Structure 1
Amino acid sequence: MAAPEEKQIEDQMSYPILLAERVRSAVDDAESFKSECSEVGKQVDRLSQMLRTVVRFSTTAPFLYERPIRRIIADVCKNLERALTLVRKCKRQSVLRRVVTITSATDFRKLSNILDSSLGDMKWLLSIFDPDSASNGIVLSLPPIASNDPILAWVWSFIATIQMGQLPDRVEAAVELASLAQDNDRNKKIIVEEGGLFPLLKLLKEESSPEAQIAATTALYNLASDQERVRAIVNEDGVPIIVQVLRDSPMRVQTRGASLVARMAQHDSVAQDEFARANVIRPLVTLLSFESFLEDPKLQAGKQSIHTVVKINKEMEKSSLGGKPVSNYDSNQRRTYTNSFSSSSYTYSEGSSRGGHNHRKDRENEQPLVKLQMKISCAEALWMLARGSISNSRRITETKGLLCLAKLVEKEQGELQYNCLMTIMEITDAAESNADLRRAAFKTNSPAAKAVVDQLIRLVKEANSPTLQIPAIKAIGSLARTFPARETWVIEPLVTQLGSNDIDVATEAAIALGKFACTENFLRIEHSKTIVEFNAIPPLMRLLRGNENSQLHGLLLLCYLALHADNTDALEPTRVLTALEGADRAVNSQHPELRELVQKAIYHLNLYHSGGHSQRFTYVP
């Protein structure tokens, strides 16, 4: 594909050279305005010389940045055509022709100005091909063609340097391009339209220079702020390059690479799928888990065989990062998942071991803050990859990622804990809508499932922040259909949070409990009785006096409880019936399904009051 494109640019540059020769010939034939035509000839000669120099550069340069060449050459052609037209008017003509065709000195002054502009454009174009033309290798002067839009000239210069310059200059140009991209969306659009993605991805492959890779990932990260530009990176085959960075690079580069994965996955579902196909999840889980489990005392207990310990260490060394988790929390919760984790494999594709050995010493010397930031970025990337994606959520569980996430939720705090929790929430949300994933990842005897539920319940009970409590409650609600009737310890903290002072936490608890008691849950009767027995009715009544959202979900839960727990004395049927009758009058036509559910619950409770509660009645509208 490269040869036809090179032929096309050569053809484009041959035409202005031909035009320059025609102008030179027309100057020689001029009979009037000879001095003016002579000056035009000198300008055109300089243009012709510059054009030939550009041709030589373009045919010898291993990598050619064509965008400014095409734009400037097109403008030069237009100006040479104007010069040819004017000079030809100065040839000997009949009297009638001279009267009809009037040429003046003003025309030549205008032509001289536009040819000077073309000379300035060509001089600038040559300067970006010549690394010695600027002291730092980057040309920041403005060509006349971009005088009204200096950003365009800077973008051209930076991209040309990244494409064709020496490595130090390429790094500096990438940093400048990243700064421009950070300023506003217009700059981002110009960079992408002018072909900046390809050289940045090429720079990202410079494994010998971490600084070059960091500069490239930073620029790409700043550009990847909407779906269109993310899709452009994907279309440039950027995904495999970014995944390779996660496998073979030093920790600082991997941190930036993981952040780029997170941002691209956040803005585009196609990028989500492409990263998954490139097997990005396994190295992300590996980096996230590095060293964390080797530090767990259980992994060093006598129960572990020497073979297992050696295997774990070898697998962890293949990862490119490591760091001790920061923890202020000493948990007495069950930790059966740590033993299970020791037998899981976290190896990935063959090139990773090379990077692991090359950067092992650097990893050991990294500051704890750098290691923590790496894990934060990896957790965010997994979160964004799992969001709204059943297939990616399944891939995370297949790499034993749930065990790693549960461990970090237990031991960490701050952003890392939050990102891991949000990843778990997205996985449980996917499991709620997909029975196969739910059965595979959250079966009752799964150590990973136990680990996750332990930490979710702990946060529901102990976290003082709604920021942590709400996603933990959501995740428990998403798993409602996986809990057997005997697991009442999961329901009790949710009932407690119905009385939370934070209305959003209380509402989320009502939503989660509604998934235990709803018609779709096979164990709805048993769960409903458990909810009522944990004294859910009083806080639920208070929730009905909250805002519109809390009233809606509180009413749904109350209806489910009225339908499925009617033989429980703690239901307070008279009080519930009064509340439902009041709600029936208040529910408007915008919620027809809720209105029908309320009427069904009222009918059911009326039968209960009339002594028919020993049998099962069906609602008849």
Structure 2
Amino acid sequence: MASEEKRIAVELSYPIGLAEQVRSAADDAKSFKLECIEVGKYAERLTQMLRTLVRFLTTTPSLYERPIRRVIAEVSKNLDRALTLVRKCKRQSVLRRVVTIVSAADFRKVFGLLESSIGDMRWLLSIFDSENATGIVLSLPPIASNDPILAWVWSYIATLQMAQLTERVEAANELASLVKDTDRNKKIVVEEGGVPPLLKLLKEGASPDAQVAAASALHSLADEQDRVRSIVNELGVQIIVKALGDSPMRVQSQLASLVARMAEHDPLAQEDFARENVIRPLVTILSFETFADDHRDQQLGKQSIHSIVQINKEMEKKSLARPSSRQYSNSSSSSNSHYYYSYYYNAEGSKHRRERENEKPEVKLGLKINCAEALWKLARGSVANSRRITETKGLLCLAKLVEKEEGELRYNCLMTIMEITAAAESNTDLRRAAFRTNSPAAKAVVDQLLRVMGELDSPVLQIPAVKSIGSLARTFPARETRVIGPLVIQLGHTNLDVAAEAAIALGKFASPNNFLRMEHSKTIIEFNGVPNLMRMLRGNERTLVHGLILLCYLALHTSNSEALEQARVLTTLEGVDRNVVGQDPELRELVSKAIYHLNLYCAGAPSQTNTFVP
């Protein structure tokens, strides 16, 4: 910062030198003397202002340079024009005076330009004058007369960077309000250097109000990749993660929402947040009070009153002792898992523990909603982040919240599970590590997904649940038929999107890529899936295509099934709309194979064996 101040002070020497030259040239003028004297007065005034600005620069601890550079450039340009005009008024030859014509109109133009420069300098000094400042300066300098937003942004950022805490909070709130209007305002704030002082305000943690104001402004800016990247480039990810770990709940809520937004719009931010291990505090916050009730109920159900008193005393003693790093990182048993979740409440969050206990329920709920959304955006399309969530016992926490909560929190948890299962579908190691058949967390997740599908009449929730089950198709053994039945039922759902997703999910069970495709295909037929599929073919184009794919899989793997023959599947496949099939070569080939197999195995079909040649 000291080198920056020095560099600007050097730049200021140029307009100061110009102003001195204007004064000297005005004294030497022989024509238009009165006008030149007036120009000299303007130059003298500007010289004083420029020197005052230099003194401010040497005494201001935190310098905001953007408006200074713009104003200096404009002042220098106007002084240079004034110098050129005044020099024309020196004693010259008769021929030179005839060729070089100076008029009163030229001076009027220069007077206007110099007055504008004085107005710009007066405004600039007002935002740097800490002794006389009364808050945010909202006056309009001439340089920004065509773009008032620019002047406001300069004033807000200058206040944010150089004023006292109260004014800085007000400036952050004003910036947050300003950038909500248009993308142009957001672009101006970023280009004029608004991100670093906002991050500084967040990092200092001077007050919760200050952190909330800074996080809110950053959240409004972080809705486009380039602007998110500007936050990342200023080391914003590290600042955000550190503040998230040790702040009051309302600050954490705003920060979790900021993490979600940045991860959504920029893959680099998504990777950086994971590298800074933001997933651990998010899961920890999300689990706050989620497991406490279960643990308390278990203890109450098994212990006498005397034992309960003893347990409470032991828990109070444990809360005073901070666990070692090895205990924290290697907690794998159920008891260690509960201890891990209570760690944030009893140790890591001791600074704000009382605030958390007394916080309003809506604040706690909002925090969990935002943390779940952040995990969702971090897991989306990322195998590494999905693995990190499962390694921090996040699956069990998500399953519990899906079971207990409702509304937006439940939806965000389901979307997080959907992204994790999608990552597991594409990565064998993650699938085997996180979704083993004997894994309590995996079993809890599957139980809740089935419950959502069967008990909740909400397509918005059922669709991610169906997708998640489909992504886990390879993890279910042949004997695990409890997941196929509910999916078959969804084939007949009145919402066509749910029905289509159910067909896609069942298609992953019956796909040629699934080792147990034969067994799963038979199970789908046993649960009366064929009639539902036949009805799906009369829906829209999406249900037709995915229903057709699943029907072909069933025909390939269970060609001699009586259910297929009774439903006249062969006739249906032969009569499929050629326009639909013709647009997709793979689907056309799949339908041809299914027809061939049905011709080959279905008894009693007239002339079927002569229709297709192997």
**Shorter-chain-normalised TM-score: which range?**
over 0.9
Distance 2:556 2:321 in 1: 53
- Tell me how far 1:15 sits from its aligned partner: 0.4
The 5-angstrom pairing of residues 112-151 of structure 1 reads 112-135=111-134, 137-151=135-149
Q: Is the 8 A contact 2:346 2:353 kept in 1?
A: no
Q: How does 1:168-183 map to 2 (within 5 A)?
A: 168-183=166-181
Q: Which residue of 1 aligns with 2:107?
A: 108
352-361 or 266-275, which deviates more: 352-361
Equivalent residue, structure 2, for 1:240: 238
Paired position in structure 1 for 2:338: 342
Q: Which amino acid is 2:45 matched to?
A: R
- Inter-partner Cα distance in structure 2 for 1:479 and 1:414: 25
Match of 1:191 among 158, 172, 189: 189
Given that 2:481 and 2:523 are in contact with CA atoms closer than 8 Å, whether structure 1 keeps it comes out as yes
Residues 1:313 and 1:298: Cα distance change in structure 2 (over 3 Å):
farther
Amino acid across the alignment from 2:400: K
Q: How does 1:512-591 map to 2 (within 5 A)?
A: 512-572=505-565, 575-583=568-576, 585=578, 587-591=580-584
Segment of structure 1 superposing worse, 401-410 or 78-87: 78-87
Matched residue type, 2:338: S
- The answer on 1:97 being equivalent to 2:96 is yes
| 1:11 aligned partner, one-letter code | V
One-letter code of the match for 1:342? Answer: H
Cα distance in 2, alignment partners of residues 398 and 193 from structure 1: 40
TM-score of the pair, normalised by structure 1 = 0.91
State how far apart, in whole Å, the 2-side matches of 1:307 and 1:363 are.
20
Could you tell me which runs of 5 or more consecutive residues in structure 2 were left unpaired when the two chains were aligned. 324-332, 606-611
1:9 to partner: Cα distance: 1.5
Superposition map of 1:266-305 within 5 A? 266-296=264-294, 297=296, 299-300=298-299, 302=302
Q: Deviations over 1:487-519 (max 9, x none)?
A: 101110001111111111111111111100010
For residue 566 of structure 1, report the CA deviation from its aligned partner. Answer: 2.8
- Note the C-alpha offset of 1:96: 1.4
Secondary structure at the aligned position of 1:72 is classed as helix
Quote the Cα distance in structure 1 between the aligned partners of 2:56 and 2:2. 16
Native 8 Å contact 1:197 1:233 kept in 2: yes
Q: Deviations for 1:305-342, whole angstroms, at most 9, x for unmatched residues?
A: 96998499749999xxxxxxxxxxxxxxxxxx976842
| Inter-partner Cα distance in structure 2 for 1:175 and 1:214 | 9
Match of 1:171, SS state, is helix
In structure 1, the residue matched to 2:328 is none
- Check conservation: 2:570, 2:595, Cα contact below 8 A: yes
Distance in 2 (CA, whole Å) between partners of 1:309 and 1:509 is: 49
Alignment of 1:385 with 2:378, yes or no, is yes
For 1:76 and 1:225, the matched residues in 2 are separated by: 36
Written as runs of structure 1 = structure 2, the 5 A alignment for 1:332-411 is 341-342=337-338, 344=340, 356-411=349-404
Could you tell me how far 1:207 is from its partner in structure 2?
Answer: 1.5
**Mapping for residues 301-312 of structure 1, pairs under 5 Å:** 302=302, 310=315
| Superposed counterparts of 1:24-43, under 5 Å | 24-43=23-42
Task: Determine which of 220, 223, 244 is the counterpart of 2:221.
Answer: 223
Matches within 5 A, 1:46-65: 46-65=45-64
Asked whether 1:429 is paired with 2:428, we answer no
Residue type at the aligned position of 2:479: R
- Report the Cα distance in structure 2 between the residues aligned to 1:589 and 1:571, rounded to whole angstroms: 24
CA contact (8 A) 1:282 1:346 kept: no
CA distance in 2, matches of 1:258, 1:223: 15
Task: Say whether the 8 Å CA contact 1:405–1:420 is kept in structure 2.
Answer: yes
Separation in 2 of the partners of 1:129 and 1:566?
A: 83
- Which segments of 5 or more consecutive residues in structure 1 lack a partner in the other structure? 319-336, 613-618
Question: Which deviates more from structure 2 when the two are superposed, residues 206-215 or residues 185-194?
Answer: 206-215
Equivalent residue letter for 1:589: G
**Compared with structure 1, are the counterparts of its residues 309 and 527 closer, same or farther at alpha carbon in structure 2 (3 Å cutoff)?**
farther
Distance, in Å, in 2 between the alignment partners of 1:108 and 1:208 is 53
Worse-superposed segment, 428-437 or 567-576: 567-576
TM-superposed CA distance for 1:609, in Å, is 2.0
Matched AA of 1:435: T
Give 2:255's match in structure 1, choosing from 250, 257, 266.
257
CA distance in 2, matches of 1:461, 1:395: 30
Within 2, Cα distance between the matches of 1:573 and 1:525?
20
Q: Secondary structure at the match of 1:572?
A: helix
Relative distance call for 1:533 and 1:553 in structure 2 (3 A) is same
Give, in whole Å, the separation in 2 of the partners of 1:372 and 1:257. 15
SS at match of 1:140: coil
Aligned to 1:325: none
Query: By how many angstroms is 1:12 displaced?
Result: 1.2
Percent identity, aligned pairs only? 70
Shift in CA distance, 154/553, structure 1 to aligned 2, threshold 3 Å: same
CA offsets, 1:15-40, max 9 Å, x none?
00111111111122112222111111
Cross-structure match for 1:483: 476
Distance in structure 2 (CA, Å) of the matches to 1:27 and 1:355: 71
Q: What does 1:313-332 align with in structure 2 at a 5 Å threshold?
A: 314=319
Q: Show the counterpart of 1:202.
A: 200
Q: Residue deviations 1:174-196, cap 9 Å, x none?
A: 11111110001000000000000
Deviations 1:264-318 (A, max 9, x none): 1111111100100111000000000011101114553659996998499749999
Shift of 1:568: 3.6
Aligned mates of 1:567, 1:344 — CA distance in 2: 54
Amino acid at match of 2:411: Y
Q: Name the stretch that deviates more: 94-103 or 438-447.
A: 94-103
1:156 aligns with 2:149: no
Between the two proteins, the alignment pairs up a number of residues equal to: 593
- Cα separation, 2, equivalents of 1:150 and 1:28: 38
Give the SS at the match of 2:292. coil
Aligned to 1:616: none
Structure 1: distance between partners of 2:581 and 2:74: 67
Pair 1:450-2:449 in alignment: no
Could you tell me the TM-score, scaled by structure 2's length?
0.92
SS of the residue 2:349 aligns to: helix
Higher mean alpha-carbon deviation, 476-485 vs 53-62, is at 53-62
Write the distance in 2 (CA, Å) between the matches of 1:394 and 1:620: 49
Question: Per-residue displacement from partner, 1:347-398 (whole Å, max 9, x unpaired)?
Answer: 68xxx98872221111111111110001001001001101111111111001
Instruction: Note the C-alpha offset of 1:582.
Output: 1.2
- Structure 1 counterpart SS, 2:89: coil
Q: Which amino acid aligns with 2:236?
A: G
Measure how far apart 1:534 and its partner are.
0.5
Write the distance in 1 (CA, Å) between the matches of 2:206 and 2:339. 35
Where 1:287 maps in the other structure, the secondary structure is helix
Shift in alpha-carbon separation, 1:432–1:548, aligned structure 2, 3 A = same
Secondary structure, counterpart of 1:55 in structure 2: helix
Residue identity in the other structure for 1:16:
P
Q: Which residue of 1 aligns with 2:608?
A: none
Find the counterpart in structure 2 of residue 80 from structure 1: 79
Residue 17 of structure 1 corresponds to 16
Change (3 A) 1:229 1:39: same
Q: 8 Å contact 1:217–1:260 — kept in the other structure?
A: yes
Partner of 1:417 in structure 2?
410
The match for 2:329 is: none
Structure 1 residues 164 and 231, CA gap change in structure 2 (3 angstroms) = same
Q: What's the CA shift for 1:451?
A: 0.5
Deviates more, 1:337-346 or 1:500-509: 337-346
1:593 aligns with 2:592: no
